[in-house]
Amino acid sequence: MLDIGGWEFLIVAFVLIMVVGPKELPKMLRGFTRMIRQVRSMAAEFSRGMQDMADEAELGDIKNTLADVKRGNLAGVADAIDPGGELKGSVEDLKKSATETGLKGDVGEIRDLAGATGDGIAETINEAPPHDQAAKEETSAKKKTGS
């Protein structure tokens, strides 16, 4: 903070003793420390006040957004989430490109194919005998035929 070395401190102390006098110096130092304490407490109070105002402003925004959700005002919620509208433009561009390239139909086909394949796999697993039992039946059939 203050880069005062030993010699500078001695010079300042000597000048203070010469100007103020040895009798008045303790009173002056007490007054100076009291003033510094008051300045520090005012700075801390100012900082707390600014932080409280910032917190209240954020809470007010959140409360307004929640009120918009309750009323069904989704435009207000969208404005709170994306105030610049950049996200909305990006989403619209993605929708437009998906529609133009036929990607939307491809995704639907993949979803249908995956659903049908998943159902087919489940049916096959449910119908097939357990692996151990099938292996036992196969070995017993081989023994009977003499292979």
Confidence (pLDDT) at 144: 58
pLDDT at 36: 94
User: Which regions of the chain are under pLDDT 50?
Assistant: none
Rounded to whole angstroms, how far apart are CA atoms 118 and 126? 12
- The pLDDT, as a whole number, for residue 27 is 92
Residue 78: closest CA among 92, 57, 96, 99: 92
Question: What is the per-residue pLDDT for 92?
Answer: 77
CB 69 within 8 A of CB 77: yes
Tell me the CB-side half-sphere exposure of residue 8, using CA atoms within 13 A. 4
Q: Which long-range contacts (CB under 8 A, 24 or more apart) does 119-123 make?
A: none
Domain boundaries, the chain: 8-81, 98-147
pTM as predicted: 0.36
Q: What pLDDT was estimated at residue 57?
A: 74
pLDDT at 12: 87
pLDDT at 54: 77
Distance, CA of 136 to CA of 143 (rounded, Å) = 11
End-to-end Cα, the chain, rounded Å = 96
Task: Give the model's pLDDT for residue 83.
Answer: 72
